Amino acid sequence: MTVAMGALVCGGVLGTCFFAGLWWTVRRALAASHPPLWFAGSLLLRLSFVLMGFYLIALEGCRALALCLLGFLLCRIAVIRFAAPALNKQHAP
């Protein structure tokens, strides 16, 4: 039970870092002189971090990896749900 809960929490942390990094990159890159470099560099860093986390969790077994992925996806759903009202306010006439 402890490994399962830890894997789920780690997936949530990985998801939070990934999507917070994406949010930060989008906001920062739009004002940068070379946006493609920001997006490419951010993607490399975020993917490296998340894949390393999934790899370390996978050492615990397939069940832990599945729960980690579930935590990551739940974080994605939460980010979309909480970011949508903020985005709608920005684009309102």
How far is it, in rounded angstroms, from Cα 55 to Cα 33?
Answer: 35
Q: What is the mean predicted confidence (pLDDT) over 13-25?
A: 92
Q: Of 65, 50, 40, 41, give the one whose Cα is nearest residue 19.
A: 50
Q: Of 9, 10, 89, give the one whose Cα is nearest residue 54.
A: 10
What confidence score (pLDDT) does residue 30 get? 85
Is it the case that residue 7 has pLDDT exceeding 90? yes
Task: Work out the percent of the chain whose per-residue pLDDT is above 70.
Answer: 89
* 49-90 tens-digit pLDDT: 999 999 999 999 999 999 999 999 999 999 888 877 766 666
Q: What is the pTM of this model?
A: 0.84
Q: Of 84, 20, 6, 81, give the one whose Cα is nearest residue 50.
A: 20
Whether 68 and 54 have beta carbons less than 8 Å apart is answered as yes
